[in-house]
Amino acid sequence: MSKKIALVTGAASGIGQATAERLAAEGLRVMVVDTDHEKGRAVADAIKGVFIACDLRSGADCKLVISKILKAYQRIDILVNNAGFQHVAPIESFPEDIWDDMLKVMLTAPFLLTRYVWPAMQKNRWGRIINIASIHGQVASPFKAGYVSAKHGLLGLTKTTALEGADVGITVNAICPAYVRTPLVEQQIKDQAVAHGISEEEVLKDVMLQPAAIKRLIEPSEVAEVVAFLCTDAASSVTGASWSMDLGWTAR
């Protein structure tokens, strides 16, 4: 995969950073896409990649980032739609602007980026699109209307594009992890500890990991390993799949 170009969104930290590092280790030229200029550039510099600032809420930005990469490299072989964020609130007070932003970042942006990279992948008759969904793309939790809705929609997008790409060498898959040790999740632990008046250890054990059989957080590098496999020729028969990394959450 040494001559291939990979684009990873939300790559300044967490799963995105681990994925960018893992793909770079395979010899890919990685485009680190994020809104955080300082951290994004640091990640890109460390892996000899390229940082591109992009606000995924903007359709124009989504189109521009793809056009920049294609102009510079004439190809995009791998797209990892990873960027996302959380907001927890009951439905009656869930902010409309937050709802809009969550759908833009986690559903509309993956659709647009997929749409814009599609012709180049189709021309080369080879492409890998990996959507980082969530266990919340398969099951729901209260107070997460925006996140759960976006991730459920992302699985639908994954299946549809997998069918459309089957005849032209493009595979599309989703990864559905439970809670991963990211800055986003670590902040959620702190917030819930305050909200419930309990310790962070109790939040982890009794709230977040209560449905899971394996009682631990998933490491970002574990998700990155699955991404790396899905990018290989060995995974060429895998498409339209939702890979559960849920610590046994849905086995009950």
Query: Do 105 and 191 fall within a single domain?
Result: no
- Mean pLDDT comparison of 1-15, 184-198, 215-229, highest-scoring range: 215-229
Q: Is residue 1 very low, low, confident or very high in pLDDT (cuts 50, 70, 90)?
A: low
Q: Is residue 251 part of a domain?
A: no
pTM of the model: 0.95
Taking only the tens place, the pLDDT of each residue in 83-134 is: 999 898 999 999 999 999 999 999 999 999 999 999 999 999 999 999 999 9
Q: Cβ(209)–Cβ(247) under 8 Å?
A: yes
Q: Is residue 252 very low, low, confident or very high in pLDDT (cuts 50, 70, 90)?
A: confident
Question: Does the pLDDT value for residue 191 go beyond 90?
Answer: no
Query: Do 20 and 135 fall within a single domain?
Result: yes
Listed range (11-15, 159-163, 181-185, 233-237) with the worst mean pLDDT: 181-185
Percent of all residues in the chain with a pLDDT value above 70, rounded to a whole number: 99
Distance separating alpha carbons of residues 26 and 80, to the nearest angstrom: 15
Query: What backbone torsions phi and psi does residue 172 show, to the nearest 5 degrees?
Result: -135, 125
Q: Is residue 43 part of a domain?
A: yes
Number of domains comprising the chain: 2
Q: Is residue 97 part of a domain?
A: yes
Q: The domain containing residue 137 runs over which residues?
A: 5-180+218-244
Active site residue 147: yes
Pick the catalytic residue from 73, 116, 147, 179: 147
Query: Do 196 and 144 fall within a single domain?
Result: no
pLDDT value at position 188?
A: 84
For 88, left (φ over 0), alpha (ψ -120 to 50), or beta? beta
Q: Is residue 11 part of a domain?
A: yes
- Residue 113: name the closest of 159, 60, 47, 175 by CA: 60
